[in-house]
Structure 1
Amino acid sequence: MSAKVSKLLSIILAGSLLLFACQSAAPTQAPAQTEAPQVTEAPEATEAPTQAPAENRVLKVWHYESDTGAMGKSWLAAKEEFEATHPGVTVEMDNTKGFEEIRQTASMVLNSDEAPDVMEYNKGNATAGLLSQQGLLADMTDEVMKRGWDKIVVGGLQTTSRYENGVMGSGQWYGVTNYGEFVMVYYNKDLFEQHGVEVPTTLEELEAAMDKFVAAGLVPIATGASEYPAQQIFYELVLSKADQDLIDSYQLYKSPVDFHNEAFTFGAEKMAEWVEKGYIEKNSTSMGAEDMGLGFESGQYPMMISGSWWYGRLMTEITGFDWGIFLFPGNQFNPGSGGNLWVVAANSENKDLAYDWIDITLSPKIQTIMGNEGGLPVNANAEEITDPKVQELVQAFKEFSPGAAFYPDWPAPGLYDALVSNVQELINGTMTPAEMLDAIDTFYNENKPQ
């Protein structure tokens, strides 16, 4: 890479993360257009101790990232680094349980003798916020200040790491993210070319493209409605008609939400229409996120609407066709935020090692590995990220950052499951759009913080 291109990438990567940080909102006030800090070199995370306090200790780390993805690869490197700098300590890393299992069992596991010391966990009021209220997560505020993590995870990237009475955006640090993420459209360039389809820039152009694929016997969008993907498509459609006030009302409780307003009505009706037109399969109700991803990787589907967490894995696993990305056409706002959190179990006897682990995953060395493998690190040496495919992701993140709208399931405990089941019923045709919105309205208002 030339010095000029290297410098440009460094500015784009740092600038996009800072821009995203400044655009994210705290619950106590509307999002402010704050001035971005000056771009500087990535700060060093505090150096981990060269020896563990005692020999023959085991640090249990749970996460749900694939070993072939950007986060998984970087954390395997972190394991090597940790064990090299902590003689006598073994890292037992377990990523076999998956996102769904950890989401569903976290409160029970963290309240047992089987709890890991440190765990990747979903951010937001309904997840990390709830566990912080239940006393199951360690308050990491003192460690954050001592180790300087607040200088790495800055501005709006802190929003999902800090909770006050279970509500994100302020208060104590109960988690620390070490990457960014957002939802986009992945597309099969070969199928687009074969069927004479250009990358759409409006919703109307997207639907015209999908009509072409349907006419050719293809289902345009790979999805999985038994988990998170389908509800994120619904949210993208809602966001196509949303403004910042609606997002703040829904996510941050600024004012009551009318679930039969233009945006939510459009999202529900358009989702049902997409099923009727064959853009989304009815049998996606029995498919999960993994089914969706493998379907796209097989070359069977022209598009997949999902998050940047797939990016590094697709870089590794797709070999049979060329692919690319674009933001959801026409949207000013899209789902996204800082990434999932490292949380530490309140009853862990290895909190010192858990904090050292987080420190190492935030170090420029490990963060740069994540970047080169297709992730969105918060503390990488950007001049060392050289892959053009990664540069494409960084550029898309820069375009996304001013319109970060979080995720649809965040506002209330249990809302994830409510959205999954109600969107499934919408896809099945067992609920009308109005009935689905009624159900979400009731659940949201009964379970949001009062």
Structure 2
Amino acid sequence: MKKINKVLSLGLALSLTAAALSACGSNSGNKEAESTAGGSAEGKTKLRIYAQYSDEDTKGYYDYAVAELAKEMPNVELELEIQAQDDGQKLKTYAATGNLPDIFNTGLDLINVFRESNNILQLDEYVDKFGFKDKMLPSALNTLYTEDQHVYAFPYAGNEVILLYYNKELFEQNGVKVPTTLEEMHAAIDAFKAKGITPLSIFAKEKWPDVAFYDIFATRYNPAGINALDKGQAKPSDPGYKQAAQDIVDLVKAGLLPKGATNLNYDQAAALFHEGKAAMFVNGQWEIEASTKALGDKVGYMYYPAPDAASYEANKMAFSGGGNPGGYAVSANTKHKELAAEVASFMALKYAEFKVTKKGSPIVSTKVEKAVEKAYDPLMEQLAQDLPNMTSTTAFAWGLSNTKFKAAIEDASQALLSGSYTADQFIADLENGMK
């Protein structure tokens, strides 16, 4: 997967103090601080926080948020412990020993573990009290609420999405219309094949792009896409899901993909697109930077083609991809529940603010009112305008919760791109794999 994963330090602890003046009239706060283990000799309330802080990128987020916190809540002192890259093992150990930090960065997997063991604070009342929901992007509410419709973390990362990139110059030079329907997609395939150009490149050796490609077509029939299958809200044999598989079979047979597509890795597939040998490319929005660097203003992204014009317009803003609940959570055993929740929500908001204003990325969960300091690339600007208008997202393969379904659709969606597989086989393999 061509997506940067931050390398986190192991087993390190670092104390950082948010420098600021003491709040006026803080005598009662001083007494509370002095009477608890979380107190500070300076009259501030000290909170332990577990967060990423391992490279310039992750340090930038944290330092920005802490500096802003010092301005708004000078009565708070954060003691940072650097998040370890250990699949949450250190946090699980802390939970087991009753030593969870007051605030900790976490994802859905640990949320589910900790809510079962009553180690994570349910934040519903604080979401309302601090107006956090009002600050959420409507399209990103799935990152706030878990399946039980409660909140356990304040999110800052938004929904990542799958984009169907295309080379504008190749389309214009060859007189090809950017497809909005399957009929137009087939016409594009024929036109590019006649010119010796690969219509679409995909790194199908990795299975998650194959799942995403199937999801693109499934969302044209049911905007919930693979997410509905994962949650048991739809069946693989439902007409729309079977037709989506058939659409891909037909496109592959028509010559959509390069030979040996299921053996191509990212570097190989991306090279075809970046070098102008493929007209289209499938990847997440994180590809914007690489494709813009390679193609400049020649690169664009199209909305997914649909069976007909009516369904294209109806589901135009339904995107494949998504996100999960996660962000800054609060220990159920903290001595400062409301304050910790307020700080956690503030940190999440400032993380999103940093990402938009300093990093030039709109992929956040909450609204950001401050002006962007790093200008967006043109495609990122288009995505920034589309994000508030997205009607739904689905899920990436790595975000699927039904392990049997995940394994089945990864194999079946890859087979769909082989050119020797039928829609009936796809459905049968999915159903058998989910038993």
- Asked if Structure 1 and Structure 2 have the same fold, meaning a TM-score greater than 0.5 normalized by the shorter chain, the answer is yes
Matched-pair contact (CA < 8 Å) for 1:360–1:366? no
SS at match of 1:183: strand
Q: Which residue does 1:100 correspond to in 2?
A: none
Q: How many residue pairs were aligned?
A: 367
Which residue, out of 222, 226, 236, partners 1:259?
A: 236
How far apart are the structure 2 equivalents of 1:436 and 1:205? 25
Which residue, out of 283, 289, 299, partners 1:323?
A: 299
Confirm whether residue 171 of structure 1 aligns to residue 150 of structure 2: yes
Measured at CA, do residues 343 and 229 of structure 1 come closer, stay the same or move farther in structure 2, by a change above 3 Å? farther
The aligned runs of 1:151-190 (5 Å cut-off) are: 151-153=134-136, 157-163=140-146, 167=147, 170-174=149-153, 176-190=155-169
Q: Which residue does 1:61 correspond to in 2?
A: 52
Q: Which residue does 2:406 correspond to in 1?
A: 416
How far apart are the structure 2 equivalents of 1:278 and 1:348? 59
Measured at CA, do residues 112 and 295 of structure 1 come closer, stay the same or move farther in structure 2, by a change above 3 Å? farther
Measured at CA, do residues 174 and 387 of structure 1 come closer, stay the same or move farther in structure 2, by a change above 3 Å? closer
Matched-pair contact (CA < 8 Å) for 2:215–2:226? no
Confirm whether residue 362 of structure 1 aligns to residue 349 of structure 2: yes
How far apart are the structure 1 equivalents of 2:161 and 2:122? 26
Q: Which residue does 1:279 correspond to in 2?
A: 256
How far apart are the structure 2 equivalents of 1:110 and 1:296? 42
Which residue, out of 222, 228, 238, partners 2:208?
A: 228
Q: Percent identity?
A: 17
Deviation sequence 1:99-126 (CA, Å, 0-9, x none): xxxxxx847676468x9985574x6xxx
How far apart are the structure 2 equivalents of 1:388 and 1:320? 9
The aligned runs of 1:51-450 (5 Å cut-off) are: 59-61=50-52, 75=58, 77-82=60-65, 92=82, 106=87, 111=92, 121=107, 131=113, 135=117, 138-139=120-121, 141=123, 144=127, 148-153=131-136, 157-163=140-146, 167=147, 170-174=149-153, 176-225=155-204, 226-242=206-222, 250=229, 253-254=232-233, 257-281=234-258, 283-287=260-264, 292-293=269-270, 296-312=273-289, 314-315=291-292, 317-318=293-294, 322-330=298-306, 331=312, 332=315, 333-337=318-322, 341-342=326-327, 359-363=346-350, 365-369=353-357, 372-373=360-361, 375=363, 378-381=366-369, 384=372, 387=376, 389=378, 390-398=380-388, 401-402=390-391, 404-407=392-395, 409=397, 412-414=401-403, 415-428=405-418, 431-444=421-434, 446=435
SS at match of 1:360: helix
Instruction: Could you tell me which runs of 5 or more consecutive residues in structure 1 were left unpaired when the two chains were aligned.
Output: 1-47, 98-104
Specify the code of the residue in structure 1 equivalent to 2:287: W
Instruction: Could you tell me which runs of 5 or more consecutive residues in structure 2 were left unpaired when the two chains were aligned.
Output: 1-16, 21-37, 41-45, 71-75, 95-99, 307-311
Q: Which residue does 1:11 correspond to in 2?
A: none
CA-atom RMSD, angstroms? 4.6
Measured at CA, do residues 108 and 377 of structure 1 come closer, stay the same or move farther in structure 2, by a change above 3 Å? closer
Measured at CA, do residues 197 and 370 of structure 1 come closer, stay the same or move farther in structure 2, by a change above 3 Å? farther
Matched-pair contact (CA < 8 Å) for 2:200–2:257? yes
Question: How far off is 1:302 after superposition?
Answer: 1.8
Matched-pair contact (CA < 8 Å) for 1:138–1:345? yes
Matched-pair contact (CA < 8 Å) for 1:285–1:428? yes
Measured at CA, do residues 211 and 175 of structure 1 come closer, stay the same or move farther in structure 2, by a change above 3 Å? farther
Q: TM-score, normalised by structure 2?
A: 0.65
Question: How far off is 1:358 after superposition?
Answer: 6.5
Q: TM-score, normalised by structure 1?
A: 0.63
SS at match of 2:207: coil
Q: Which residue does 1:22 correspond to in 2?
A: none
How far apart are the structure 2 equivalents of 1:137 and 1:287? 44
How far apart are the structure 2 equivalents of 1:387 and 1:408? 25
Measured at CA, do residues 239 and 179 of structure 1 come closer, stay the same or move farther in structure 2, by a change above 3 Å? closer
How far apart are the structure 1 equivalents of 2:265 and 2:230? 25
How far apart are the structure 1 equivalents of 2:275 and 2:106? 29
Question: How far off is 1:202 after superposition?
Answer: 1.7
Specify the code of the residue in structure 2 equivalent to 1:318: A
The aligned runs of 1:11-22 (5 Å cut-off) are: none
Question: How far off is 1:421 after superposition?
Answer: 1.7
Measured at CA, do residues 107 and 377 of structure 1 come closer, stay the same or move farther in structure 2, by a change above 3 Å? closer
- Mark the structure with the bigger radius of gyration: 2
Question: How far off is 1:279 after superposition?
Answer: 1.3
Question: How far off is 1:234 after superposition?
Answer: 0.7
How far apart are the structure 2 equivalents of 1:424 and 1:247? 15
Specify the code of the residue in structure 1 equivalent to 2:120: A
How far apart are the structure 2 equivalents of 1:289 and 1:343? 32
Measured at CA, do residues 110 and 273 of structure 1 come closer, stay the same or move farther in structure 2, by a change above 3 Å? farther
Specify the code of the residue in structure 1 equivalent to 2:347: I
